[in-house]
Structure 1
């Protein structure tokens, strides 16, 4: 069925060639060719909201024209009516707009279709209702193939004000899609994104997204600006700028995906309470997993959130050259990095495995190059004898130490000494539409820009880290609002509660006074760990606290079965509590004898084994030192 170049729009709707308003509609095996020669801005085939049940199978929709309505098949809004629309085994091609475009339609099912070579998107389901009432619900998009479109499959949008005002407001409020499954689709060679979803309660599973946006400066295999969604089991391949881009999402889990060859494998920053779990990410040219504190659309419009509550757990990451494994920037908060395996290819710097510019990271059980304990030796760095450990490491082994260790630092912390690594907003202020960040101090070159949302400063992005800064560095925020304040972090702190076990293969002393970062312990004195023993450090207040260590400075097993008790200064005291005593025993004398103290005579008051001694602290000639001649309390004899 081809539209004539001389025909007018369908009489049932002034904006459509064919308009379906009947309650039920069925079409099978029809090619709806809107004809390239007909250039009016009309919808080609439009299913009106009054039609609540349709079955369209084995049909083709092509050659629709028009700047705003040139879509092959359009479903107009019918929400909140629950519909029974099924589009099966159809083809959408060569349309100036979208192949299939559905507005606020409930229970729409699109399966086994092909959408290709469209000027807009292949399959597009969305609602831009400015009143935020109309939604698309329970959408089902399964087993379709989409190629050479703007976006292969697009579900929802991330514009919170639904184009009802400018500038656009991005975010997860007012989702247009409530419940959808996008599964088992093949989206390849699309110009921008293979799959783009935004909304709430959307499952994206088992899709193949290959070679999308490979010639663009933006785009991704899968873009998910979502809330309460799950992206699982997808295969994303090709040199796309982003493999999976989840920037600005909330309560979203990205798990068990395979991402190969992207610029940034998985971007999951700028959101709140998301999880990246058990993904396999390799051969990324820039970053395997990237986390920014505040995300934007790339044109300076931010998503209104600062990153917190992110978990990066159990991923397998491969990187090479100058690429980074895991990158966290601008003070993103409460990041858990746990049980990941990071493999640096030959020649790739081990320092690139983790680069986290923040003060709140929890590290547990990560492996770099399948090495549980890197063997390292201290060296002088910035005038201090320094133990430099891999950022991901939970444990290292010291192979030689010729002086007291005065500093324990991660490899990244050593590299960024004197740099302003991030700026943390302490007071967001009110009333800002424009603002400027000024960094002052002994150094030079550091620069940053503020992110403003709702009149508040929600985060600050470093654009240059500078050099030569110290503890006097300050941050000033000026603009048309008031009250915002922030502090600069120079270098990297020891993360609070960071755990590091150090196996000392040689005797190693850890300094207390003059250490930087501070190395404190309960004794207040330096600690000497003997060869073959270990010490556990815990991050505390920007420095290290010794949690557990072998007290060789006080109690020293000598290797021959003997033990030496020493002090660095002062007495050795034996102080049994309660009814306890100091008892001397041997392998052949299980009872032994007691060494007792008290005031007054022990005769008939203190019971002890034979051979025990008693010192009367009241003193007196012939009454100060007693010996028990037999067991019991009646056999004491004063000997001095």
Structure 2
């Protein structure tokens, strides 16, 4: 029979002065509060007596729990829980020593408010379990508890809280989990394996809690969706603060759907602050195949979180259909060196808006491999600045149909916005596609120094649109660098218009007339001095790649062509090259040939040289030269009397030649490898 609880006895058990009132919160759960206000679940009738409120509520102290920091209270835990059934066990203020206890289904454990009830793992425990559940645990509620792994007094590892085998409908509110010991893979503050909330149409909630100072991760969910993590701190953990990841392949579509990760703080974790993983299509743990075809996480909200001083990424989101907004990430990245940053965004069909990335290492926002995703209205600043390490403000390489629009990028050391065709380091392409369809429009970019660049499109990035971007500061010729494209002369690989390099005050650069007039890759207006005849107009990059191999386009995407664990040599021959090109073969984890990252572009090539990879021919086509001005419109304002003549790549609308006078303007548009006259005013 349960002991009868009077108001004074209840106060004594909780170790608090005053007369407590048990209230039912908005979810209908019992929790002790103090004062004179009672609240009840919506639509519920008010209880007619204290006895009704306290039905199925038992005090652990009545079943032998001492909570004196010395006595093993594990048996009292089991007894009180058995009597409560699917009710509530109340724990008094104090430190309760526990060893390998198991939570029952339907049980609630409620401690004294303010972190005054501590469950501490028994010193030198011989079990790899601290607080766990049976397989398929459900409707377990923990409130107002501190769960202490007592790390310094342990030789064996354990997770502080462990739920396995399809748990669902769990609630943690105002719970602190700290000091978990890591030995042989343990050490998480909270671990769930194969959660079943999605299949059972329930949700697990972690609210206003703390997961701090654990050897492993703070919150680690290895399979499980319909999670709400709100107003929670996960900091100073050895691994990731908050992580949703089904670690072992093969990928399971929808394994972590419908997550709500909101208003959390994740500081100083060894790996990531927050990581929602799930962009693996196949492969192995060593050689994963990344891409959007089998998203493990879908339709989640990541909102209002703050992440700082984490070893790799502050906040990482992978999968499909996510909304990531109003988050802040600063001073993240660099572990291991050359990796990590503010945000990781490997997503498809998602939005990334209103976020702040400040003073991160290597990447401000790493959106490599994104598909059909809008990146807009974000502020990305000071990447690599404190560490004097060049990196990337925003990376959108290796994806398809991603749009970066209306972002503010300030003082990112290295490159403001970077779009490369092949995304990867060394000889490995991380994704199974060469980038195409990238849109970069309406961004404001301020450069911190003369060696940094504004917008760079390179290495086979195809069908890119770059319009109406403004670049401030930096050095001449570094505002826009357009070297992408997979076609033989890449005429349709880039559309650009309305981009402004403000390093010249926005009025245009002054160029000396010459037979071949070389203009910057970006910008719309140029002042022309001198009197030399002009017959050809080249961009800086098209002029640089004249007679050189800029890229190798794969003949087809064919997995299994090459061994990704090998590094086959590439050899070029013929083509009339006076200097032979050389480069590094790029191979995907699926073994597909993805191109050649050029080390030496060669020189003097009159035609495309032949190429073999590891002695195999026919894998790709070397590309000579570059046309990066299709549909670009420019205005030439003449200071001198330089004549312009049809010939080379210039086509005038009227007479075959134009003799200019000071003040004369000539407008031209790039079209099929030539510059065609739009209008003149002379």
Q: TM-score range by the shorter chain?
A: 0.7 to 0.9
Out of 472, 479, 487, the residue aligned to residue 622 of structure 2 is: 487
- Alpha carbons of structure 1 residues 419 and 322: separation in structure 2 relative to 1, 3 Å: farther
Out of 152, 158, 162, the residue aligned to residue 279 of structure 2 is: 158
Deviates most, 222-231 or 407-416: 407-416
8 A contact 1:266–1:288 mirrored in 2: yes
Q: How does 1:509-588 map to 2 (within 5 A)?
A: 509-513=643-647, 515=648, 518-521=649-652, 525-529=656-660, 531-549=662-680
Is 1:243–2:360 an aligned residue pair?
Answer: no
Q: Hey, what's the Cα distance between the residues in 1 that align with 2:465 and 2:577?
A: 34
Q: Hey, what's the Cα distance between the residues in 1 that align with 2:659 and 2:483?
A: 32
Aligned length in residues: 533
8 A contact 2:552–2:620 mirrored in 1: no
- Alpha carbons of structure 1 residues 189 and 41: separation in structure 2 relative to 1, 3 Å: same
Deviations 1:386-409 (A, max 9, x none): 3332321123233x3413212222
Superposition deviation, residue 117 in structure 1: 1.4
Q: How does 1:4-15 map to 2 (within 5 A)?
A: 4-9=122-127
Deviations 1:88-129 (A, max 9, x none): 111112222110111322211111111111111000012246
Deviates most, 327-336 or 388-397: 388-397
Deviations 1:503-545 (A, max 9, x none): 34554421234x3xx2134568233355544333222332323
Superposition deviation, residue 371 in structure 1: 4.7
Per the alignment, residue 592 of structure 1 pairs with none
Out of 503, 526, 529, the residue aligned to residue 396 of structure 1 is: 526
- Alpha carbons of structure 1 residues 253 and 42: separation in structure 2 relative to 1, 3 Å: same
Is 1:117–2:236 an aligned residue pair?
Answer: yes
8 A contact 1:378–1:388 mirrored in 2: no
- Alpha carbons of structure 1 residues 119 and 286: separation in structure 2 relative to 1, 3 Å: same
Q: Hey, what's the Cα distance between the residues in 2 that align with 1:481 and 1:357?
A: 27
Deviations 1:548-582 (A, max 9, x none): 446x8xxxxxxxxxxxxxxxxxxxxxxxxxxxxxx
Is 1:465–2:593 an aligned residue pair?
Answer: no
- Alpha carbons of structure 1 residues 102 and 318: separation in structure 2 relative to 1, 3 Å: same
Unmatched tracts of structure 2, length 5 or more:
1-118, 384-390, 485-489
Task: Give SS of 1:80's match.
Answer: helix
Q: How does 1:11-410 map to 2 (within 5 A)?
A: 17-19=131-133, 21-36=136-151, 37-48=153-164, 51-65=167-181, 66-77=183-194, 78=196, 79-128=198-247, 130=250, 132-133=252-253, 135-149=255-269, 150-161=271-282, 163=284, 166-214=286-334, 216-262=337-383, 263-296=391-424, 300-319=428-447, 320-344=449-473, 348-358=474-484, 359=490, 360-369=493-502, 371-374=505-508, 376-380=510-514, 385-398=515-528, 400-410=529-539
8 A contact 1:448–1:462 mirrored in 2: yes
Q: TM-score, normalised by structure 2?
A: 0.73
8 A contact 1:17–1:42 mirrored in 2: no
Superposition deviation, residue 376 in structure 1: 2.4
- Alpha carbons of structure 1 residues 264 and 329: separation in structure 2 relative to 1, 3 Å: same
8 A contact 1:8–1:17 mirrored in 2: no
Superposition deviation, residue 236 in structure 1: 0.8
Q: Hey, what's the Cα distance between the residues in 2 that align with 1:430 and 1:203?
A: 32
Per the alignment, residue 628 of structure 1 pairs with none
Q: Hey, what's the Cα distance between the residues in 2 that align with 1:377 and 1:50?
A: 69
8 A contact 1:363–1:394 mirrored in 2: no
- Alpha carbons of structure 1 residues 525 and 425: separation in structure 2 relative to 1, 3 Å: farther
Q: Hey, what's the Cα distance between the residues in 1 that align with 2:463 and 2:274?
A: 33
Task: Give SS of 2:460's match.
Answer: coil
Q: Hey, what's the Cα distance between the residues in 2 that align with 1:313 and 1:139?
A: 31
Task: Give SS of 1:178's match.
Answer: coil
Deviations 1:559-610 (A, max 9, x none): xxxxxxxxxxxxxxxxxxxxxxxxxxxxxxxxxxxxxxxxxxxxxxxxxxxx
- Alpha carbons of structure 1 residues 26 and 375: separation in structure 2 relative to 1, 3 Å: closer
Higher helix share: 2
Q: Hey, what's the Cα distance between the residues in 2 that align with 1:494 and 1:156?
A: 37
Q: Hey, what's the Cα distance between the residues in 2 that align with 1:209 and 1:133?
A: 28
Superposition deviation, residue 489 in structure 1: 2.3
Superposition deviation, residue 155 in structure 1: 0.5
- Alpha carbons of structure 1 residues 68 and 498: separation in structure 2 relative to 1, 3 Å: same
8 A contact 2:641–2:659 mirrored in 1: yes
Superposition deviation, residue 181 in structure 1: 1.1
Q: Hey, what's the Cα distance between the residues in 1 that align with 2:126 and 2:131?
A: 7
Is 1:432–2:567 an aligned residue pair?
Answer: no
Q: TM-score, normalised by structure 1?
A: 0.77
Superposition deviation, residue 477 in structure 1: 2.9
8 A contact 1:404–1:508 mirrored in 2: yes
Superposition deviation, residue 47 in structure 1: 2.9
- Alpha carbons of structure 1 residues 494 and 19: separation in structure 2 relative to 1, 3 Å: closer
Q: Hey, what's the Cα distance between the residues in 1 that align with 2:613 and 2:362?
A: 35
Deviations 1:9-40 (A, max 9, x none): 4xxxx866422654311111111112213343
Task: Give SS of 1:409's match.
Answer: strand
- Alpha carbons of structure 1 residues 431 and 47: separation in structure 2 relative to 1, 3 Å: closer
- Alpha carbons of structure 1 residues 481 and 67: separation in structure 2 relative to 1, 3 Å: farther
Q: Hey, what's the Cα distance between the residues in 2 that align with 1:22 and 1:409?
A: 69
Q: Hey, what's the Cα distance between the residues in 2 that align with 1:43 and 1:428?
A: 44
Q: Hey, what's the Cα distance between the residues in 1 that align with 2:547 and 2:500?
A: 29
